[in-house]
Amino acid sequence: MTTHDNLPAAADHAQAIEQAASALPAHKPRRTDVDPRAARRAERQVALMFLGSAVMTVLFVVAFVAIPVDRSVYIWGFGSVNASNIALGVTFGLAIFLIGAGAIHWSKKLMNEKEEVQLRHSLASTEEDRQAAIEAFEDYSADSGFAQRPIIRRSLLTAMALFPIPLVVMLRDLGPLPGEALRETLWQPGSRIITDPTGRPIRPSDLALGGLISAMPADLPLVQEEEGNLNARAKAAIILVRMEPQEIVSQQGDNWDYGGILAFSKICTHVGCPIALYQQRTHHLLCPCHQSTFDLADSGNVVFGPAARRLPQLPITIDPEGFLVAKDGFAEPVGPSFWERGDA
C-alpha cells in the first residue's frame, strides 16, 4: 500500500488537475517575463551580488593578513573601534549575505514562477483499513489472554513501574556529596585579614569612617597557589566597612565588630554573586545581580530582594601587633542555600 493508493483514478487525474487550475486566479507575467531588457538587468544584478560576495571573500583574507590586530580606527557614529574586527566582520558578513540575497533575487525575478497543481490524497485511512486494524487488535488481545489473566497483567505493570528506580538511584553517584566543604571557610580564630587583591594587613585606623575595603584571609594566596582553583576564594571573600559604633542597630553576635568596623561575607546568600555595592549613608549593601539588599547596620538582614537569608557576619578583633584578625570562623555557611544546609 503506497501513499498514492487513494489518489483519484488515472482517468480522473488530468481532469481534476484542470479543474483545480481553473479555480486559480489568472497568472500575471512579471516585468522580467515580458521585457527582455528588464530580464537582462535582473540577470546583471544577480551576477553582481554573487561577484560582490566573491570580492568580499577575497577582502576577508586580505584583511585577515594585512590588518594588525591592535590597530584601531575611528568610524563616525561608532567611535574608536578595532580595525581588524570591523573589517573581518563586514567582509565575512557581506560575503555570505550576498550569496543568499543573489539567490533570492534570482528566484524572484528570473526563475519560472508559473503556478502548478499537485493533487493530495486525504490524510485519513479508508474505513476498511481502520476496521481491519481494530479487529486485529481485538484478536491479538484475546489470544494473549491479557484481560483474562489479571495476575500476569498486574505483575507486569508492577515490574515496569519499578524499573526506572535504578536510574534515579544512580543519580546519587553523579558526584561526591559536598560533605563539610560548604560549611567551612579558611577563616579560623586568629586568621589575619589582608586587603584584596593587594594583600596588606589592615589596622583599625586604616579604615576611614564610611570606608569599605574588600579583604581575604592571609593564607588564601598560598592555598590558592596549592589548590589551583578559586573555591577557597569564593567562600572566604569578605568586605570590611566602618561606621559610627552607635549607628550599629544589631549584630549577629555580641561585640563581633571592632570599634565600628564590621566584617561580612562578600558572597550573596541568593545565588552567590560577589556583593559590594555599599551605600555608606544608609549602610545598605546591594547585590548587582538581583538587587538583594542587606542592612549591614542591622545584622546584615535582608531588606529587599530575593535573598532568603541574612549575610553571614565574621567576628573580628585585633592581634597583639594591632592588625585586624578573625575572632572565629563564620558561624553559618556562607553563600547560597544548599539542600543539606538545613534551616539554621
Partner 1 sequence: MKKRSRRRSLAAGLLMGGALVVVGSGYAVVSAETTPAPPAGTTSSVEQLQLGRQLFLEGCSSCHGLDGEGIAADNATGGNGGPSLIGVGEASVDFQVSTGRMPLAVPEAQAPRKDVLYSQDEIAALAAYVATLGPGPANPTEEELNLEGANIAEGGEIFRTNCTQCHNFAGSGGALTDGQYAPAITDATPKQIWQAMVTGPQQMPVFSNETITPEDKKNLIAYVESLKVEPNNGGLGLGRLGPVTEGLFVWTAGLFFLIAAAVWIGAKVR
Residue 37 near partner 1 by CB under 8 A: no
Stretch of 52-60, 72-80, 174-182, 244-252 contacting partner 1, by CB under 8 A: 72-80
Q: Which of residues 255-284 bind partner 1 (CB under 8 A)?
A: 274-282, 284
As a whole number of angstroms, the distance between CA 210 and CA 283 comes to 9
Q: For residue 100, what is its C-alpha cell?
A: 543568499
**Residue range at the interface with partner 1 (CB under 8 A); choices 105-113, 120-128, 167-175, 313-321:** 105-113
Q: Which amino acid is residue 177, in one-letter code?
A: L
- The length of the chain is 344
Q: Which of 94, 185, 196, 335 binds partner 1 (CB under 8 A)?
A: 196
Spatial separation of the C-alpha atoms in residues 275 and 312, rounded to whole Å: 12
**Nearest CA to 317 among 309, 305, 325?**
325
248 exposed, middle or buried (CB, 10 Å; 0-12, 13-18, 19+)?
Answer: middle
Element (H, E) at 194: strand 193-195
Pairing of strands 284-286, 277-279: antiparallel
Number of residues that bind partner 1 (CB under 8 A): 50
- Give the three cell numbers for residue 280: 555608606
Nearer to partner 1, 197 or 228 (CB): 197
From the list 24-32, 59-67, 177-185, 308-316, the region that binds partner 1 by CB under 8 A is 24-32
By C-beta, is 43 or 184 nearer to partner 1?
A: 43
6, 15, 19, 85: residue in contact with partner 1 (rule CB under 8 A): 85
Kindly state whether residue 78 participates in binding partner 1, applying the rule CB under 8 A.
Answer: yes
Which residues contact partner 1 by CB under 8 A? 28, 30-32, 72-73, 78-82, 85-86, 89, 104, 108-109, 113, 195-198, 200, 202-203, 205-214, 241, 274-282, 284, 286, 288, 293, 304
